[in-house]
Structure 1
């Protein structure tokens, strides 16, 4: 298929993919849950073709698994896989920051600082969803300013995966803590100090990785204790 029909389907597929991605990240589609193609098409008022394309896109991101005759299921992400994504994303963002600092204009600085102010407002209001959006916007803006389109594409392929930590931490997350992680980055940007920006980004990802690893370890321990208690109670 080519022409306007193909373009329309592609646009619809992108819209469906974003909606499904939001559902996965906010827990509407929990791990191991099915995503039924016909049900999604009915919900969004579209044909199954763009839904099928959207699901393939989510599979490429590693967020769902599609198997013959069983359809699509949300993947239960492996802890190590998720933490590995942060290592790779940190490396990519350090490179992106170095390139961005060489291209930085006054307008870019103002835009980044404005996102930081929006993050503080969201954190003060306890609005985790708005904060997550601003968080992603800040990191993406730095990658855009780098001017390297290939780097930006690779970053975008990892960002949804690493963003799942917000969902995994759930009620245990602290909006002010999340917001404060970005202050050193923005302060260094304001000073146009490239090395300070790099150090701040590395520290940012180290702290997030450490917090996520600790939380996942606690969850695993609780699950073990719960299973042991259940076994004891039924024996």
Structure 2
């Protein structure tokens, strides 16, 4: 394949493009397995095992795990290889939201210099987010199981994060976008609470709507930023609540499993 560039025609290697597509597909598959509970925190992720299970060579598996390491969903240690990272602690969630506030509020201030173009674009991003929520809500319960359920959740998360990226891209600073995308990788770890479902979609949509309304109405920058600050604070509170619910459920499951082992071995706890 030949592509025109400023320095002349560039010959692309089709197999290289195929490898990239395979790597991205494998990444999506492993990400889904991490989010749907196939793997539990601290589970070992064997490159050879995943290679056999997914029917691909070890190379795209290794590349996917390297990519996932950057999101914080997996960790790598010497002699132990890759493992599933534990979910964020409440303290870590607070730190992540603090980091988001530093970047997003600064980006919003710059983006408001381009309010004329920001307003309609952000309105579209909000409408897409709202559309995904409505479509998922309209699906029968039996349609939201397995891979279909996870695909729906990922559509929601992508639309939600897309709303925030729209603001940061309007800051007209490539370094802000770069920082946002790096931070967005860590937002994946908040999605480890996907097991509790989409508990906050209506709240998030309403908070986004208030931000859009403030921008469209010509509200002062301080009021627009306050709407964003309120939204991020609400995200913090909801995410911490979800993380505690997940931790409680896992604690119950661990105790239940330990009791089953004792019962099978005839050990009685006193």
TM beyond 0.5: yes
> SS of the residue aligned with 1:182?
helix
User: Which range is displaced more, 38-47 or 186-195?
Assistant: 38-47
Task: Tell me what 1:20 maps to.
Answer: 30
Q: What TM-score results when the alignment is normalised by the length of structure 2?
A: 0.70
2:81 counterpart of 1:54: no
Tell me which residue corresponds to 1:212. 239
Q: What are the residue-to-residue correspondences of 1:196-211 with 2, within 5 Å?
A: 196-211=223-238
SS state of the match for residue 118, structure 1?
Answer: helix
Unmatched runs of 5 consecutive residues or more in structure 1: none
List aligned pairs for 1:36-185, cutoff 5 A: 36-41=46-51, 46-79=56-89, 80-106=91-117, 108-127=118-137, 129=153, 130-168=155-193, 170-171=196-197, 173-185=199-211
Provide TM-score, normalisation by structure 1: 0.79
Distance 1:216 1:186 in 2: 29
Structure 1, residues 70-126: CA drift from partner, whole Å, max 9, x if none?
A: 3321100341223211110121111111122213443x4323212212222333344
Shift in Å, 1:217: 3.6
For the residue of structure 1 that corresponds to 2:197, the secondary structure is helix
Check conservation: 1:14, 1:54, Cα contact below 8 A: yes
Cα displacement string for residues 179-211 of structure 1 (whole angstroms, at most 9, x for unaligned residues): 222111111232344333311111111111112
Q: Secondary structure of 1:76's partner?
A: coil
Separation of aligned partners in 2, 1:147 and 1:15? 31
Q: What SS does the corresponding residue of 1:73 show, helix, strand or coil? A: strand
CA distance in 2, matches of 1:56, 1:167: 18
Structure 2, unaligned stretches of length 5 or more?
1-11, 138-151, 263-267
RMSD across aligned positions (CA): 3.3
Deviation of 1:44 (Å) = 5.6
Question: 1:146: Cα distance to partner?
Answer: 1.4
Go from structure 1 to structure 2 and tell me whether the alpha carbon gap of 1:217 and 1:45 turns closer, same or farther (over 3 Å shift): closer
- How many equivalent residue pairs? 231
Quick one: distance in 1 between partners of 2:269 and 2:119? 62
Q: Could you say what secondary structure the match of 2:172 adopts? A: coil
Give the distance between the partners of 2:190 and 2:48, measured in 1 at CA.
29
Q: Which moved more, 1:160-169 or 1:199-208?
A: 160-169
Displacement after TM superposition at 1:12 (Å): 4.4
* Residue 38 of structure 1, CA deviation: 3.1
Moved more, 185-194 or 80-89: 185-194
The alpha-carbon deviation at position 54 of structure 1 amounts to 2.4
**Distance (whole Å) between structure 1 residues aligned to residue 25 and residue 64 of structure 2:** 8
